[in-house]
Structure 1
Amino acid sequence: MGSILGGNNKKGENIPKRYEFKSSPVEVHDDGEGNWLVSYADMMTLLWGFFVIITIFSTPDASKFEKLKEHTSQAMGGTYQRPLNELTEELEQVFAEMNINQDIRIENLIDGIKLTASSTRFFASGDASLSTESKSILENIGKIFQDRAQGYKIIIEGHTDDVPINTKEFPSNWELSLRRSSEVVRLFENMGIPHADLRPVGLSDIEPMKEISGLSGDKLRDARAQNRRIVIRIQKQIKAIKAPVKTEKI
């Protein structure tokens, strides 16, 4: 075996040529693709670094940036959505001027803004008709929505207390809560807020703001009054993009 695998055997005898192994050189073909790819990658890296440096040293103007977004949305045929913080600030100002800060609470949530209005100013117990005072409040809110909430989804939730109702008009609290939210939606729609942006929801008494267990007298009445309420949620609309359907010719 040694004489076959090795170049010489132990005695120094030469191996026949037919058993000698020769390595053939590997041919490398360069068609030029590698060079331009490397150059292109280097150029893209340099451009990326250039824009990073510009971004770091720039001081962007928020108002100009929002104006650019608005013009871009309009040019593309879409709807521009103003920042929700502008809407919150304007609502707080209006509520302070109307002296209703204690009656309508504003909360900034991850998915938008939440307004909670107690029923003491909006609805009487077992009734879905808006009072004159509540209409005035909602009209001021609607004016702000017209300017600041374009393109947002406006969800109006109607809530009732735990007192059951069974009338021809309202067979249960479900119908009562939905009617209350529908009254607010109708008012906003009559003001010109787009029909497609409004969502009425009736939640009956399943999400009370105040627990009533163990309460009685004035405390129970106050808790039930707070549970009879309207909640308005302003959220961003996410529109699905439909992919084109390919049809094959037969």
Structure 2
Amino acid sequence: MSDDFQLKKPSQEGGEGGWALTLADMMTLLLCFFVLLLAIADVDQNKYKNVSESLAEAMGVESPRSRDGSSVARMSISQDQRNIFEMQLEMSRLVGRETDALNIKMRPDSVAIILKGNFFFRSGHADLTPGAIKVLDQIVSTLAKSPYDIVVEGHSDNIPINSKQFPSNWELSSARASAVARYLLDHGFSKQRIKVMGMADTQPMYPNEDEKGNPIPENQKRNRRVTLLVFPPKADTAKK
């Protein structure tokens, strides 16, 4: 009985906090795992290797060794890719990865900040809503201080518009993208680092219609958006 009791008795050195340390280690590993999944989403195998090597370096993991014990050459991730990943984390910290107003996604060459159309604009209009201005206020100073280039894309659904102000979705999508761009410029973003494009309904994120040609309202709603593509500066620009 005494031996059984000794087996069940907690260690005097570890005390009751030993399990907490183990749990903390596990949570840290899980966090690193999910950050890795986030970083390699929609990226090819080479990008996967680059990002995994970068994370290993950041966490202090030693370089892998070959069978003869020599250090294996590490494929270093480019500074541009590091900057993209850091920008995504910064934007996510400011506004969250996905809210009622926007969604943030990492691409191989940029960070996409997707501004949801129904939140940022009234139907058939290109003026920013008060809620949209509050959201932009959270990110505009960070973007303005960054060295990054931005392409502002306006996207519409496939529902035709024909008003005096907007004869088609080309004009509407361009006007909405321009409204966001003007707000960035008015708050310190450099006009040399921004481009505006109206895409109309040429690049839907989701099918506007089903196989029978019936509209899918929820998808049409998602396709109405303005996307900020945040790119690292070009090499020649960065040197200036």
Q: TM-score, normalised by structure 2?
A: 0.59
Aligned to 1:232: 228
Question: Where do 1:137-216 residues align within 5 Å?
Answer: 137-147=135-145, 149-150=146-147, 152-214=148-210
Residues 55-87 of structure 1 deviation map (CA, whole Å, 9 limit, x = unaligned): xxxxx999xxxxxxxxxxxxxxxxx98823332
Unaligned runs of 5+ in 1: 1-59, 63-79, 242-250
Structure with a larger share of its residues in helix:
2
The number of equivalent residue pairs is: 159
Residues 154-212 of structure 1 deviation map (CA, whole Å, 9 limit, x = unaligned): 01100111111112211111011000000000000000111111111100011111212
Aligned-partner SS, 1:174: helix
Question: Where do 1:1-250 residues align within 5 Å?
Answer: 83-96=83-96, 101=99, 103-147=101-145, 149-150=146-147, 152-214=148-210, 220-238=216-234
Q: Distance in 2 between matches of 1:240 and 1:145?
A: 20
Q: Distance in 1 between matches of 2:100 and 2:123?
A: 20
Aligned-partner SS, 1:186: helix
Q: Distance in 2 between matches of 1:104 and 1:204?
A: 19
Q: Specify the structure having the higher radius of gyration (Cα).
A: 1
Residue 187 of structure 1 aligns to which amino acid in structure 2? Y
Q: TM-score, normalised by structure 1?
A: 0.57
Q: Distance in 2 between matches of 1:227 and 1:188?
A: 22
Percent identity, aligned pairs only? Answer: 27
State the superposition RMSD in angstroms.
2.8
Relative to 1, partners in 2 of residues 1:61 and 1:100: Cα closer, same or farther, differing over 3 Å?
closer
Aligned to 2:46: none
Q: Distance in 2 between matches of 1:100 and 1:111?
A: 20
Query: Is the 2:121–2:127 contact (alpha carbons within 8 Å) kept by the matching residues of 1?
Result: yes
